[in-house]
């Protein structure tokens, strides 16, 4: 179980008169197994915050620790290893590789591992089963629906069994019914112990989280736990 | 799934780009293979043809005297030369390290004789080597027998000699076996007989005045042969018949340099095509590379994907380019050899070299695009959508 702690994270784009502070002095701590939703308007800094938490965007200042690991103290290759071992990403536009089949897309995070071809295949099949796409591994991304593509993206994010899942507007391109299914899937994954950090501007989706952090103008404005109705 | 699968599948998807890279490299390999094969085949052909033009190395006794003739005009018809080679020297030439490159060795003994009151030069030659050393004598099926005379065209006129006529050389009475056609060379004024008889007539048993050598020129440099013969015969002067040999070598060298120059330009253009197309491919794949980086691919893995792709295409380009080059040579060779059906020179090393060179050039041309790809910021790459 993993603890995430960001302290005084700031991110400035550009310099001089063109400088824009996307994130200002944000501090955030998540407990193991948390389901955190980051909400805010467009340009509020939520995606920049997620990119920094995802070890994709080096902050201008502040520190970011995952357990006892100083993520931005790592080299670029070590950060790549960190992302592979600790994080799963679900992007808004799915970002599936178009010339790879569904199963091959899911297997991508395993390419850099020493697992055998058979092991990789079994893990990919298990991940596809977890998201309800068993039997569709041989299809290409352009042969599946948007909802299925999102599920493939989720399967790819969890195939390596990472302790943390990061999602950027995971339902942004989906209808409400499919969004609900996807959020149900996230809830299942969270119940299995995966920490989820999700950026969304949808209140419908945010209600699946256990905690909501609202950001505006690069600052955290509220950070509150949600009471779940049994 | 492995990295090479990603590379292969990407190439299969981007067929047009892959075909463009393939064509760029293949044209380069085809050109080089065709030019090298043509050069080697034409060289072989010329070499065989040049052998028909006779001797290209002359071995004479060392002298400190200067020649007293110019353009066939001799001052006084005197000879101060007393040094001679011997038949043992001829045998030594046959034992040089690269003796296999010697097509024919023709010892010659020279001396003046008196025929019907006229001085004439008598040359003792080995008629069995004359087909290679003096192909213009055109002996046909039968060679003159020992003791039979071959008379140069002008000498025949002056001596009134005809085939079958008897000529008295000192105490020897010899029959004219052939009158040579006019050659425009010194041969026109000389009478020829076998070496042994000439040595006997001239009173020079075992002596050799000069040795003519015909060397295969495929394995030239001729200078190497000259050096070896000189080492075997320290008392002799060994000379290339310069106009023939140097002209031949110079023409071939210039041809070779020209071909290599053309090859270099074509190969550079091929590399440029690979570089530009790979760069364009990398830029097109910004998002894809961003995804790879985001899900934990190290920079080296990104580089490997690009280089795998380059290696796959380059190897294929090498194989197809070699085949196309050989086919082109086969088609073009008759035009370079006057339609005489010269055999194609197939060098197995060229096949391996073409594939290896294609692979190396393809990889080298793709290193920069691969580095650019590996340095892409995953966050920036994913923000491009």
Average pLDDT over every residue of A178-193: 87
How many C-beta neighbours within 10 Å does residue B63 have?
Answer: 12
Predicted confidence (pLDDT) at residue A228 exceeds the cutoff of 70: no
Determine the length of chain A.
230
Residue A102, domain member (yes or no): no
Within 8 A of B379 by CB-CB distance, chain A residues are: 51, 56-57
**Which range, of B53-57, B107-111, B344-348, averages the lowest pLDDT?**
B53-57
What pLDDT is recorded for position B78?
43
Is A11 in contact with A23 (CB distance < 8 Å)? yes
What is the token pair recorded at B187? Answer: 């041969």
pTM recorded for the entire structure: 0.68
Burial B233-251 (b: 16+ CB within 10 A, else e): beebebebbeebbeebbee
Asked if pLDDT for residue B143 goes beyond 90, the answer is no
Residue of B9, B295, B379 lying closest to A84 (CB–CB): B295
Match 């955290």 to its residue by tokens: A220
Q: What value does the CA radius of gyration of chain B take, rounded to a whole number of Å?
A: 33
Closest by CA position to A209, among listed A200, A222, A218: A200
* Residue A143 belongs to some domain of the structure: no
pLDDT at residue B162 is higher than 50: yes
pLDDT > 70: what percent of chain A? 98
| Residue positions counted in chain B | 385
Residue A105 lies in a domain: no
Instruction: Please choose, from the candidates A69, A72, A80, the residue with its C-alpha nearest in 3D space to the C-alpha of residue A9.
Output: A72
A108/B293 touch (CB, cutoff 8 Å), yes or no: no
Distance from CA of B286 to the nearest CA of A (A): 11
Among A49, A59, A95, the strongest candidate for a mutation testing the B interface, having the largest count of B CBs within 10 A, is A95
Which pair of tokens denotes residue B198? 């000439």
Chain A: residue whose CA lies nearest to B15: A99
Contacts of B373 in chain A (CB under 8 A): none
List of chain B residues whose C-beta atoms are within 8 Å of the C-beta of residue A100: 1, 6, 9
Which residues in chain A are closer than 8 Å to B287, comparing Cβ atoms? 95
Distance separating alpha carbons of residues A156 and B285, to the nearest angstrom: 19
Distance CA A113, CA A105 (A): 15
How far is the C-alpha of A183 from the C-alpha of A170, rounded, in Å?
9
- A173 within a domain of the structure (yes/no): yes
Mean pLDDT of the A197-210 span: 88
pLDDT at B76: 47
Model confidence pLDDT, tens digit, residues A71-102: 999 998 899 999 999 999 888 788 888 889 99
| Rounded distance between C-alpha atoms, residue A221 and residue B53, angstroms | 100
Q: Which residues of B touch A93 (CB under 8 A)?
A: 385
Mean pLDDT for all residues in chain A: 88
Question: What would the mean pLDDT of B10-23 be, rounded to a whole number?
Answer: 88
Percentage of chain B modeled with pLDDT above 70: 86
- Inter-chain CB proximity B6 and A111 less than 8 Å: yes
Q: What is the mean pLDDT of residues B241-266?
A: 74
**A13 in a structural domain:** yes
- B340-354: pLDDT as tens digits: 667 778 888 888 999
Distances (CA, A) of A145 to A178, B277, B362: 10, 33, 39
**Is B296 within 8 Å of A80 when comparing Cβ atoms?**
yes
Residue B320 confidence class, pLDDT cut points 50, 70, 90? very high
Average pLDDT, chain B: 83
For residue B52, pLDDT beyond 50:
yes
pLDDT value at position B194? 92
Both tokens of A35, joined, read: 């389901």
Inter-chain residue contact B378 with A98, CB threshold 8 Å = no
A82 belongs to a structural domain = yes
pLDDT digits (tens, 9 = 90+) for A47-57: 889 999 999 88
Q: What is the mean pLDDT of residues B325-329?
A: 91
CB atoms < 10 A from the CB of A50, how many? 20
Q: Does the beta-carbon distance from A97 to B291 stay under 8 Å?
A: yes
Residues of chain A in contact with residue B5, where contact means CB-CB under 8 angstroms, are 104
B384 touches chain A (CB under 8 A): no
**Amino acid B66: pLDDT:** 60
| Subunit contact A100:B9, Cβ cutoff 8 A | yes
User: Residues A101, A105, A111, A113: is their CA dihedral positive or negative?
Assistant: negative
Residue of A nearest to B9 (CA): A99
The contacts of residue A25 (CB under 8 Å, 6+ apart) are: A8, A9, A10, A62, A219
Position B190 scores a pLDDT of: 92
A211 within some domain: yes
The whole domain housing A199 covers 4-93+163-225
Mutate which: B5, B291, B295, vs A, most A CBs within 10 A: B295
Q: Is the pLDDT of residue A144 over 70?
A: yes
**Where does the pLDDT of residue B80 fall: very low under 50, low under 70, confident under 90, or very high at 90 and above?**
very low
The minimal CB distance from A56 to the residues B12, B13, B379 is found for: B379
Top-confidence residue, A191 or A227: A191
B295 touches chain A (CB under 8 A): yes
Range from A117-121, B179-183, B313-317 carrying the lowest mean pLDDT: B179-183
Domain extent listing, chain B: 3-48+250-383, 56-240
In a domain, A48, yes or no: yes
The CATH number of whichever domain residue A85 belongs to comes to 3.40.50.300
Our count of domains for chain A comes to 1
């Amino acid at each position: 179980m993993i603890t995430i702690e960001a302290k005084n994270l700031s991110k400035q784009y550009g310099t001089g008169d063109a400088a824009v502070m996307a994130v200002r002095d944000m501090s955030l701590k998540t407990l193991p197994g948390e389901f955190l939703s980051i909400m805010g308007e467009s340009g509020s800094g939520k995606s920049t915050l997620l990119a920094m938490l995802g070890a994709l965007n080096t902050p201008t200042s502040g520190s970011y620790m995952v357990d006892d690991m100083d993520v931005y103290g790592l080299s670029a290759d070590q950060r790549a290893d960190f992302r592979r071992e600790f994080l799963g990403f679900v992007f808004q536009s799915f970002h599936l590789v178009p010339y790879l089949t569904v199963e091959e897309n899911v297997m991508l995070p395993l390419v850099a591992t020493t697992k055998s071809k058979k092991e990789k295949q079994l893990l990919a099949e298990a991940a596809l089963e977890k998201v309800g796409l068993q039997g569709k591994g041989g299809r290409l991304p352009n042969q599946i629906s948007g909802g299925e593509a999102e599920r493939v993206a989720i399967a790819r994010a969890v195939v390596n069994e990472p302790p943390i899942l990061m999602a950027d507007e995971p339902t942004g391109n989906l209808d409400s019914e499919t969004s609900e299914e996807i959020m149900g899937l996230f809830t299942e994954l969270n119940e299995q112990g995966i920490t989820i950090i999700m950026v969304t501007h949808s209140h419908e989706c945010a209600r699946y989280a256990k905690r909501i952090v609202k950001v505006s103008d690069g600052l955290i404005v509220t950070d509150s736990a949600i009471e779940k109705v049994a | 799934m492995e990295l090479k699968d990603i590379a292969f599948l990407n190439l299969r998807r981007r067929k047009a780009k892959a075909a463009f890279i393939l064509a760029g490299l293949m044209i380069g390999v085809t050109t080089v293979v065709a030019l090298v094969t043509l050069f080697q085949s034409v060289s072989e052909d010329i070499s065989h043809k040049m052998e028909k033009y006779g001797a290209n190395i002359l071995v004479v006794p060392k002298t400190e005297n200067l020649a007293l003739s110019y353009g066939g005009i001799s001052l006084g018809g005197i000879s101060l030369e007393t040094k001679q080679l011997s038949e043992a020297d001829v045998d030594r030439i046959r034992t040089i390290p690269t003796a296999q490159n010697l097509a024919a060795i023709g010892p010659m003994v020279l001396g003046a004789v008196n025929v019907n009151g006229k001085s004439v030069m008598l040359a003792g030659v080995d008629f069995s080597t004359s087909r290679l050393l003096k192909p213009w004598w055109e002996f046909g099926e039968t060679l003159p027998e020992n003791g039979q005379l071959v008379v140069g065209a002008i000498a025949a006129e002056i001596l009134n000699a005809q085939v079958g006529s008897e000529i008295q050389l000192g105490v020897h009475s010899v029959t004219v076996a052939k009158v040579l056609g006019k050659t425009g060379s010194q041969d026109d004024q000389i009478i020829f007989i076998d070496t042994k008889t000439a040595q006997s007539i001239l009173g020079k048993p075992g002596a050799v005045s000069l040795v003519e050598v015909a060397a295969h020129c495929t394995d030239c440099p001729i200078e190497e042969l000259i050096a070896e013969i000189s080492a075997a015969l320290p008392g002799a002067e060994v000379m290339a018949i310069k106009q023939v040999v140097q002209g031949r070598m110079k023409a071939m060298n210039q041809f070779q340099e020209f071909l290599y120059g053309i090859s270099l330009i074509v190969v550079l253009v091929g590399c440029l095509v690979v570089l530009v197309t790979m760069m364009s491919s990398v830029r097109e794949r910004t998002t894809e590379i961003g995804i790879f980086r985001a899900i934990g691919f190290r920079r080296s893995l990104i580089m490997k994907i690009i280089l795998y792709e380059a290696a796959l295409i380059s190897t294929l380009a090498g194989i197809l380019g070699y085949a196309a080059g050989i086919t082109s040579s086969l088609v073009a060779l008759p035009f370079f050899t006057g339609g005489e059906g010269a055999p194609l020179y197939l060098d197995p090393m060229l096949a391996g070299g073409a594939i290896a060179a294609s692979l190396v050039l393809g990889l080298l041309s793709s290193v920069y695009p691969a580095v650019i790809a590996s340095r892409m910021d995953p966050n920036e790459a994913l923000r491009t959508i």
